[in-house]
Chains A and B, each alone.
Chain A
């Protein structure tokens, strides 16, 4: 049952092959038996999930079946869930039970989905390995000595270990695509403003974007149909109709122009990763696509620009955690200053503190022009690279991350090495463009992701391109060997 895609689960529920309660119990049992190994969930929602499943089965019996009626999924623990602890991977919010649902959570509730639980993540989504979580690192199901990527490492690992068929995630600099690549699953970061940020705990507001993770492009399309919406409560939400993202999946790729940026194949790229990506490009040629060499000349400046803009926005966003209204408060503060200092000193982990301090530095008097303004200018140059490229091509392809999953601690004491993990993903966030990662091979039994970058609001085409690739290849159907449990099928 746990090998079914979301599309297959919907078909099975429709045909009456199994009930929502049955499949929900199945997943809950697997989580109970396997997740002590992977640590992909922070909170598992047994009681609520079963109640939601019962309600879905009842709804279905009455002939009322919205798109995800009875389908189990998981939410990244960055999305506020009414009455369910939402920690954002931080000690600061270890005791935080939101009094409201994020819009994304509400959309899935309206669609009848069952929420299995909340997935593990890097603290406040700051990390590329899931090692910064207050709840301990997530293990990559393909090799438990290696990281799952981050920050949505819990969502990615839970899907790879078949502990949920799909999960929500967020991407500020690669946090959907990089863990999707490292865990061998499919993930999509939509155009900035496509998915509501309301109730999604803010890291860097001009970059953060929620999106789906699942095993196939088709499942991501089904999820995006639910997730995407115009939301008046999110001031940067874009008022634009949401298409049916499954409508174009089957279109042939004849005549598709694929841009291949030379900067994504330079020094630092693992040769095995490169080979897998090149093989994928050849597959697209076989399907009638044309490869076009392009240049994105400001790629190298994307990481430096990001590490001004993201920390600057984070330092402002995270000022709300002050121990007054919710979350952690230190014991016996002697005065207000002491309360702020110790609450934040105790509540935040090292990486979060580092980024707040960098942000405060870049925004401080005398440095604003040299850092923040300069980074915002470079941001426009990076966007212009893509605008120019999309005059010539329909999609851009390259590796999602420079190498496959690395071992725990490998980059632990070197933030700059960790930041360069996102060298191919960050530019799309700065430009606000949609990006995807699709499984395209293995290096030493570790999955490799192909990145597909689309033009603004061109998610339908990207999903079509990814779906056609998955019709011709079976990389997305591979599963880690240790995820089967005796007696549970």
Chain B
């Protein structure tokens, strides 16, 4: 599978990462190289093999539905870029 500059631009948009114009050619090439490495997987015979997500095939633990956390809002907001009245501030979304 080949990957082109337009694909990288689309991925960068999806991942919300600004890619600098000066490095986009190099980024495209290096990702193409990595995907060529990854393409070796296609040769593997995986017919009937169950995909593996967890080494121990463990499943999510359940716990009782009770409050275990205390309120840390002030601590969390102290390290935020912009807050006001207990809320996180971001650029205006709706006009």
Residue of B nearest to A346 (CB): B18
CB atoms of A341 and B16 under 8 A apart:
yes
Chain B count of residues within 8 A CB distance of the other chain: 54
Residue of B nearest to A359 (CB): B15
Out of A325, A340, A376, A433, name the residue touching B52 (CB < 8 Å). A376
B86 at the interface (CB under 8 A from A): no
A337 at the interface (CB under 8 A from B): yes
CB atoms of B90 and A304 under 8 A apart:
no
Q: Which residue, of B7, B16, B49, B55, has the highest number of chain A Cβ atoms within 10 A?
A: B55
CB atoms of A301 and B44 under 8 A apart:
yes
Q: What is the minimal beta-carbon distance from A54 to any residue of chain B, in angstroms?
A: 26
- B interface, over-half SS: loop
List, in ascending order, chain A residues with CB within 8 A of B58's CB: 193, 236, 238
8 A Cβ contacts from A98-113 to B: 98-100
CB atoms of B46 and A374 under 8 A apart:
yes
B25 at the interface (CB under 8 A from A): no
Q: What is the minimal beta-carbon distance from B45 to any residue of chain A, in angstroms?
A: 9
List, in ascending order, chain A residues with CB within 8 A of B54's CB: 192, 206, 236, 432
Chain A count of residues within 8 A CB distance of the other chain: 76
Residue of A nearest to B48 (CB): A377
Query: Residues 1-37 of chain B: 1 if any A CB is under 8 Å from the residue's CB, otherwise 0?
Result: 1010001100110111111100100010011011111
Query: Residues 40-61 of chain A: 1 if any B CB is under 8 Å from the residue's CB, otherwise 0?
Result: 0000000000000000000000
Looking at A155-163, A267-275, A279-287, A327-335, the stretch in contact with chain B turns out to be A327-335
Out of A192, A315, A377, name the residue touching B50 (CB < 8 Å). A377
List, in ascending order, chain B residues with CB within 8 A of A467's CB: none
Looking at A135-143, A347-355, A445-453, the stretch in contact with chain B turns out to be A347-355
List, in ascending order, chain A residues with CB within 8 A of B1's CB: 370
List, in ascending order, chain B residues with CB within 8 A of A341's CB: 16-18
Q: What is the minimal beta-carbon distance from A353 to any residue of chain B, in angstroms?
A: 6
Q: What is the minimal beta-carbon distance from B7 to any residue of chain A, in angstroms?
A: 7
Q: What is the minimal beta-carbon distance from B68 to any residue of chain A, in angstroms?
A: 9
A13 at the interface (CB under 8 A from B): no
CB atoms of B76 and A99 under 8 A apart:
yes
**C-alpha gap A127/B61 in the complex (Å):** 32
Residue of A nearest to B12 (CB): A357
Out of A238, A377, A415, name the residue touching B49 (CB < 8 Å). A377
By Cβ-Cβ distance, the 4 closest A-B pairs, closest first, are A432-B55, A345-B18, A376-B51, A377-B46
Task: List 12 other contacts, CB 8 Å, given A354-B31, A416-B33, A416-B37.
Answer: A236-B58, A301-B41, A315-B15, A319-B15, A335-B91, A335-B93, A354-B30, A374-B44, A375-B38, A376-B53, A377-B44, A377-B49
Interface residues of B (CB under 8 A from A): 1, 3, 7-8, 11-12, 14-20, 23, 27, 30-31, 33-42, 44, 46, 49-56, 58, 60-61, 63, 72, 75-76, 78-82, 88, 90-93
Pairs A–B under 8 Å by Cβ, sample size 25: A239-B61, A308-B41, A315-B15, A324-B81, A326-B76, A329-B81, A338-B91, A339-B90, A342-B18, A344-B16, A353-B19, A357-B15, A357-B17, A360-B14, A361-B7, A361-B11, A370-B1, A371-B38, A375-B38, A377-B51, A380-B51, A383-B55, A416-B34, A419-B34, A430-B55
